[in-house]
Amino acid sequence: MKLDIYQVDAFSSQVFGGNPAAVVPLFEWVSDELLQRIALENNLSETAFFVKQGEYYELRWFTPCGEVDLCGHATLAAAHVLFEHMGYADECVVFATRSGRLFVDKDQGCVLSMDFPSWEAKPFQVTERVQRALGQRPSELYFSRDFMAVFETEEQVRSLRPDMELVSKLDGLCMIVTAPGEEHDFVSRVFAPSLGIPEDPVTGSAHCTLVPYWAVRLGKEDLRAYQASQRGGELLCRHLGDRVKIAGPAVTYMKGTVFLEYGGSCGA
């Protein structure tokens, strides 16, 4: 068996920026074990797999450690592959996922706009466990699918050096840290060591929690966000009540072939 594979830098208009994701189009689903082994071999934060089903595409995401229910940058990457490499002609692609149907629109140029759920975060007491894990005490703490720690300044967020072992023992899928931005409405970083991802470069799904919080705090619907990882990435966001729009560019870094031939001998 041979499979096409693409590596796409999401939330970046240039290679080596944003968040890299692998995308593997399939004609039909293979075993979950094989999907997981491919994701582990890729050793990226996410590998996206999709299968065409009528007018929409079933989409799944795997980290090196397991399947997740929602991933933003790999969704952006999958849509980019359909638009740029597979001749998808419509202006909107519909993905059926564990988190419901997700819509990705092609805007001007290489910018893609994703329609995702909005997650309201509930206030949570700042605990000593969280403070020790992050190395600094946040001014506020919230919980949705993820923890979200709010700091007062962008510099605090950028200077954090979390204890990943302690972070991995906290509840929730990820630890989001955020603060008001100096040149953007807000900045963030995301840590997910329990998923095999010490720091995720740009995390679309984290903005399902970030956008509603900052929209209310800043009193505005349209937000410019920056994820302040080493690679970094800018996201254009809009709060729509129970949904959020998350937009950004994507660029192809590599196209290749996955060889899944079993048996035989070397050099045969």
The C-alpha atoms of residue 64 and residue 73 are separated, in whole angstroms, by 15
The catalytic residue positions are 46
Tokens found for residue 67: 């399947």
DSSP E strands, 118-232: 122-123, 140-143, 147-150, 175-180, 186-192, 197-200, 222-227
Q: DSSP letters of 41-88?
A: HHTSS-EEEEEEETTEEEEEEE-SS-EES--HHHHHHHHHHHHHHS--
User: Bridge-partner residues for 106, per DSSP?
Assistant: 112
**In whole angstroms, how far apart are CA 28 and each of 40, 82, 125?**
20, 16, 46
How many Cβ atoms sit within 10 Å of the Cβ of residue 130? 20
| Residues forming beta bridges with residue 14, ordered by sequence position | none
Residues 6+ apart with CB under 8 A from 16: 9, 231, 253
Closest CA to 186 of 218, 160, 140: 218
Confirm if 246 and 235 have CB atoms less than 8 A apart: yes
- Amino acid at position 126, single letter: V
